[in-house]
Amino acid sequence: MKLSEIQAQGLTKCLVASGLVPDKMKIHITEVEPGSRSHGAHTHAGTEAFYMLEGSATVEVEDERYPLKPNEVAVIDASRPHGIFNSGATRMRYIVIIAQ
């Protein structure tokens, strides 16, 4: 099986097996400063996971809020309005995985 390199935000290298559709699973790393968010609430197809690497986050899904710290994950139905913001005092880093 041959692997091909694709671009992914925050990753030095992302290898994908030839013949796979890269959009079926997306992965990237996001960094957000304290009190900020990478974008507003939104929806899209698929299942999305937020895996915290550093800092503190609050994941919003519809009207609910869930705190996350390093080595914690939230897996959500991305067709529901959702977002994530930095609720801590330091920069947060997290991995996003979206499966469609």
Residue 10 lies in a domain: no
- Is the pLDDT reported for residue 65 higher than 90? yes
pLDDT for position 22: 73
CA dihedral (48, 51, 54, 58) positive or negative: positive
The residue among 59, 55, 82 whose CA lies nearest residue 69 is 55
Per residue in 30-64, pLDDT (tens digit) is: 999 999 998 889 999 999 999 999 999 999 999 99
Per residue in 83-97, pLDDT (tens digit) is: 999 999 999 999 999
pLDDT for position 88: 97
Q: What is the mean pLDDT of the chain?
A: 95
Q: Residue 83's domain is classified under what CATH number?
A: 2.60.120.10
**How many domains are contained in the chain?**
1
Residue-range definition of the domain harbouring residue 40: 21-99
Residue 49 lies in a domain: yes
Residue 11 lies in a domain: no
